[in-house]
Structure 1
């Protein structure tokens, strides 16, 4: 976002300017530009880029070296010398000192006027600083919105309108984290936003990306009235985003938490809390799932269970599933996993066999054996509920 020496070298029309020393200082930020034929370093400040013809120091090696040292000491951004006028090229002593101090020196071709360069660079600094100020303002607004500090509805409405959101649609928050193994992601914000735009084009939904510590997306399904349809569209958009991302960036990982839909802008904070909570809990208990999209609505029972003391959770887990756990441990079977998949597939043998890549007869045998070990009938509603609750507790405890 800042205007650096590196970016200054790539401005159209003046790309003929060349870096001749101080390559390691290309990331120095240019905050202002000065023209001096007789450089007075006492007038310069941090971030200054000095433009000069070099007339005063063209024949004085000591002055050349001292100038580089003073500019570097003051934190200036760099020195740009117009060559082929008083200097055929930058003196070797200056190049050596600049390389030693990682201080950039640019050579300006004879046909470029220093005044033109001053105008172009100043315009670029103004543009970059305005962008940075706007980004800071946006980040400040959304940071306060997502921690519940904004309580004035009109303020929120005006700001959201400015960022292109529709005020009479439901809002869902998607909390997304992108990583490269244990390291931060190498994917740029622009690439991520471009990917979200592709999802918008495919699905009838508006999505505003906010990049704070992680990516937060305000999603608004368009032309949806039924709550079930709203939820379905948001889930579809999140799933498409994860699938597209995984396909394009196979070495990166992405997971998304989805908060419940809200219509009042003051409730965006609540949806954000839910989305972040769903993301964190989803990774804890469903990390092995290929599609890492976690809805708060689906995980709400687990969130309630989290409020219970561990001693109670362990007691219930043991009393409900202990025979199954012991059998798996002693016989190296996967009955607990089979039961979990069977319950997730609503007790359907065919779907369970496909999910586990097993023959349907093998699944039927395992379910019968599970019922025998637990001494229950999975067709009995009370017994089914008790076992479902036990499996959820097992997930919270990291056992399933």
Structure 2
């Protein structure tokens, strides 16, 4: 281990010899009276660490030996089992023993030549103990030296802990803590979250050494968990060196992980408090309740939000094709922030499961933070809402908002979505019109939720929609859900009832008729049905519903009713006769589309 001089943090490492892993056998032989021991063979292994000293009392000692043990024997235990000497040296070397000291003459006239050869082969020190030297004279000095070393290790690791705590008290961040630990270890250090993402590194601006494309052999050999209680933050990592980390280095890494856990816990607590105040203020802005513009702006500035300029709401949430059975990753509708009933406020209705919603919120915060501003984002009504200081009524502003929305969706898909078991729900975005000041923020938010509901009903699978592009939906979204449901039942009720009983697909056929301007060939191709089948269905539609397909007024009412049905299905604000759908729609997740 390289001794390091004073660095940028005023740190100087005072490692005990050999990293504190124990004195080596070579060091022990420099003690008095161990200088009198003679190395018979295996001198290449004198760098083996000695952690304790023991006397062989049984012939099967190999079964009980511990790593780092220096073993002493008179040979008495092998007097009646000389055959065991043949496997003694290889066995002790394999178990990591430090060496073997033999006192010959009394029970072993001389050390056999095959044992000398084995000792050299395994780099395992074989020592001759002078006849006059007692075992206690050997054990005492060695254990005393080990005790002194262990005490110095504890003192050094405690010093490291005090150093790191002082840095935290001075406001050091993760990068500074990494650099301090790296200075002590003499090798790069970095922090990974539980998913392997780097949170901080000792080498600013450089990829961490375990990243793809790093030089061969540059891989972490030590990863110490960063945790407090049951809360797991990730790992503190360092590279492999020529030798395994010694006790001091390992202790430094462990104390560093403990201090970093405290720092991450503190940061998380601060973030949680900020998030609580931000959510309360955001809920107030989006509720539509009267507010004092000057007071609201002051609160926004205190939170670091720049809302004194035109801004636009974007709502992210699940885009659900099947209005009956939610896909994997969606939670039941009940919850503390359920939306009020009504097409204008029901929005997606179905809510992302909490862990997915948090993943989506993190993705939004990460993308917005990359823009250099404090992210205005929060979890609400089962989804995630963000406010961006852009005006989508201009071409440049529209492109900018669309780019941000798609970046959030890509980030979520590549991170949180990957961790799902089974199929993950498709997540989309609805974008409201610009809010010129804070009194219009709630209106932009309602529009964004309506756009998201329309995205759920869209046939082409588009997952990002602008409220400004919704056409007749812009009129329908201000109507109460009950009124829309009554309108749908007035004009489509008989057809919905008939489809529910007979799975006749009449409502779907009517939607295709309006979409393709009455072109029966295109309708048949779209619905994979025979020309005559479509003709028959259209005849039944007129019989059952009373609609006249050549009457413009009837067609307008049917068209609006289908749009309202789509909006209700997309917002999940459906009930009674609308909730069941046709058997085909339930079984195949089919959407009505115009």
Give TM-score scaled by structure 1 length: 0.51
Q: From 382, 386, 393, give the equivalent of 2:557.
A: 386
Q: Separation in 1 of the partners of 2:379 and 2:369?
A: 19
Q: Separation in 1 of the partners of 2:314 and 2:547?
A: 40
CA shift for structure 1 position 133: 5.2
Q: Does 1:193 align with 2:368?
A: no
Q: Does 1:110 align with 2:156?
A: yes
Count, aligned residues:
288
Q: From 201, 205, 215, give the equivalent of 2:384.
A: 215
**For the structure 1 residues 326 and 219, does the alpha-carbon distance in structure 2 shift closer, same or farther, using more than 3 Å as the test?**
same
The aligned runs of 1:158-307 (5 Å cut-off) are: 158=298, 160=300, 163=304, 165=306, 167-169=308-310, 171-177=311-317, 180-182=329-331, 183-186=353-356, 188=359, 189-195=361-367, 208-213=375-380, 214-222=383-391, 224-225=393-394, 238=405, 241-242=408-409, 245-246=412-413, 249=417, 251-253=423-425, 254-276=427-449, 286=457, 290-292=461-463, 298=470, 299=473, 300-301=475-476, 303-304=478-479, 306-307=481-482
SS at match of 1:177: strand
Give TM-score scaled by structure 2 length: 0.37
Q: State whether residues 513 and 520 of structure 2, in contact with CA within 8 Å, keep that contact through their aligned partners in structure 1.
A: no
The aligned runs of 1:1-400 (5 Å cut-off) are: 88=150, 110-111=156-157, 113=159, 114-122=161-169, 123=171, 128=267, 134-148=274-288, 151-158=291-298, 160=300, 163=304, 165=306, 167-169=308-310, 171-177=311-317, 180-182=329-331, 183-186=353-356, 188=359, 189-195=361-367, 208-213=375-380, 214-222=383-391, 224-225=393-394, 238=405, 241-242=408-409, 245-246=412-413, 249=417, 251-253=423-425, 254-276=427-449, 286=457, 290-292=461-463, 298=470, 299=473, 300-301=475-476, 303-304=478-479, 306-308=481-483, 312-313=486-487, 316-317=490-491, 320=492, 322=494, 325-326=497-498, 329-330=501-502, 332-343=503-514, 345=515, 347=517, 349=519, 356=526, 358=528, 365=535, 368-369=538-539, 372-373=542-543, 374=545, 376-378=547-549, 380-392=551-563, 394-395=565-566, 396=568, 397-398=578-579, 399=581
Deviations 1:220-258 (A, max 9, x none): 4358448xx977875676467557745762644324444
SS at match of 1:221: coil
CA shift for structure 1 position 301: 1.3
Deviations 1:27-72 (A, max 9, x none): xxxxxxxxxxxxxxxxxxxxxxxxxxxxxxxxxxxxxxxxxxxxxx
Q: Separation in 1 of the partners of 2:374 and 2:398?
A: 14
Q: State whether residues 150 and 156 of structure 1, in contact with CA within 8 Å, keep that contact through their aligned partners in structure 2.
A: no
Q: Separation in 2 of the partners of 1:197 and 1:341?
A: 44
**For the structure 1 residues 275 and 324, does the alpha-carbon distance in structure 2 shift closer, same or farther, using more than 3 Å as the test?**
closer
SS at match of 2:386: strand
**For the structure 1 residues 321 and 221, does the alpha-carbon distance in structure 2 shift closer, same or farther, using more than 3 Å as the test?**
same
Q: State whether residues 297 and 307 of structure 2, in contact with CA within 8 Å, keep that contact through their aligned partners in structure 1.
A: no
Structure 2: 5+ residue stretches without partners: 1-11, 16-145, 173-261, 319-327, 332-352, 569-577, 582-591
Q: Separation in 2 of the partners of 1:110 and 1:315?
A: 80
Q: State whether residues 315 and 449 of structure 2, in contact with CA within 8 Å, keep that contact through their aligned partners in structure 1.
A: yes
**For the structure 1 residues 335 and 185, does the alpha-carbon distance in structure 2 shift closer, same or farther, using more than 3 Å as the test?**
same
Q: Separation in 2 of the partners of 1:302 and 1:308?
A: 11
CA shift for structure 1 position 357: 6.0
The corresponding residue for 2:27 is none
Rg comparison, structure with higher value: 2
Q: State whether residues 369 and 375 of structure 2, in contact with CA within 8 Å, keep that contact through their aligned partners in structure 1.
A: no
SS at match of 1:215: strand
RMSD: 5.2
